[in-house]
Amino acid sequence: MSNDNSYKPYRICSRCIMDTSDPNIRFDVHGLCDYCNNYDTTIDPNWQTDERGAAKLSALADTIREAGKGKDFDCIIGLSGGLDSSYAAFVAKEKMGLRPLLFHVDAGWNTDQAVGNIEKLVDGLGLDLYTDVVNWEAVKRMQVAFLRAGIPDQDLVQDAAFFSGLYRFARQYKIKHIITGSNFSTECCREPEEWGGYLGIDKRLFGDIWARCGDGRPNDEFPLVDILVYKIWYQKVLGMTVHHPLNLVPYVKKDAEDELGRLYGWQRFQHKHHESRFTRFYEDYWLPRKFGFHKRRAHFSSLIMTGQLTREAALERIAKPEMDEHFLTQEFEYVAHKLDLTVDDLQHIFAAPNKTFRDYKNKRDLIGFGANAMRKLGLEKRFFR
């Protein structure tokens, strides 16, 4: 869908808080947005966390345990230090009786709290940790190129590092079962693609952005597993499967935070994705102020749909940034300096015209086609996230 420059009156959903800052949003006669309708018709009926979920969880646990007999570990969990992956690790070990390897990708933006939470989980759950430290120079150069590219999809760089690291490791050690913290409870309202939620890691997009906005030298150290390679080769040929156990158990954000806090001293974050300093800055400053997109709308809307937050409370919170102005100013400087830019450099990049992924070579249609085809054939219910 192309950029439509005609004026659209502001409209907000009557149940959640998704609004016309998502240019593709649609409302029905009741004023409900398509995210809410999608939840009511597609997600909710198929989401069971009672004894049906428990049965599925148990069956899944058996499968994974069986497959992992005789190995040092039977599955791998990507751990960021944030709530979802932390709770998934807890469920895998304590509820499913599995022997997961905890896998952390350090892309250079860890907050002290994230690192502390990982440590507490490793110690508290008695599990082993493996860290993939991405070459910071490579990440830095790619991130600067993406910023210069002017697109909203700034988290793709960290995502690429994370998923490429995880899947490469799984392939190398022939691990078939991967557990992630993806869940309906806090993510049933997906972040719109227009807001920088690009579908997956697209080597063509990365390549073109690097060619046009990079520093001119090769960036071979940057880890990149193309999503189609992943989907076709890793999943279909090597038989890797990704599981989302948080959809099979009752998962209430506040309760989960309390439980992890009680058991392991785990510390809750102010908001989703705050375990990465860059993502926190990106979602609380860059995206809202440069593009007018507030990912928190989607996050809060998920919580509204699942009964964890009232619409009033959500509206109140979205009215101001998570972090105060002084903090954001300092983070702006920190991010600039860490990327080897001056504050002025980053200001210029911030003020430059906004672009989208469509301004660069990409295979979005192919990915979309592939995902749609797979969904139609019942081969896959979710995108790789």
Chain residues in the site for another protein (CB under 8 A): 104, 106, 108-112, 115-116, 118-119, 122, 128-131, 133, 135-137, 140, 277, 326, 330, 334, 337-338
We find the least distance from the C-beta atom of residue 136 to another protein, in angstroms, to be 4
User: Is the Cβ–Cβ distance between 185 and 249 less than 8 Å?
Assistant: no
We find the least distance from the C-beta atom of residue 235 to another protein, in angstroms, to be 26
Nearer to another protein, 118 or 179 (CB): 118
We find the least distance from the C-beta atom of residue 118 to another protein, in angstroms, to be 6
Query: Phi then psi for 242, rounded to 5 degrees?
Result: -110, 130
Nearer to another protein, 107 or 318 (CB): 107
Q: Pick the closest to residue 359 from 213, 224, 157, 219 (CA basis).
A: 213
DSSP-based three-state secondary structure for 71: coil
We find the least distance from the C-beta atom of residue 122 to another protein, in angstroms, to be 6
Q: What angle do CA 284, 286, 289 make, to 5 degrees?
A: 90
Nearer to another protein, 119 or 345 (CB): 119
Nearer to another protein, 116 or 207 (CB): 116
Backbone conformation region of residue 133, classed left if phi is above 0, alpha if psi is from -120 to 50, else beta: beta
Nearer to another protein, 130 or 233 (CB): 130
We find the least distance from the C-beta atom of residue 329 to another protein, in angstroms, to be 9
We find the least distance from the C-beta atom of residue 133 to another protein, in angstroms, to be 5
Nearer to another protein, 106 or 155 (CB): 106
Per-position b or e across 218-257, b if 16+ CB within 10 A of its CB: ebeebbbbbbbebbeebbeeeebebbbbbbbbebbbeebb
Structural element, H or E, at residue 129: strand 128-133
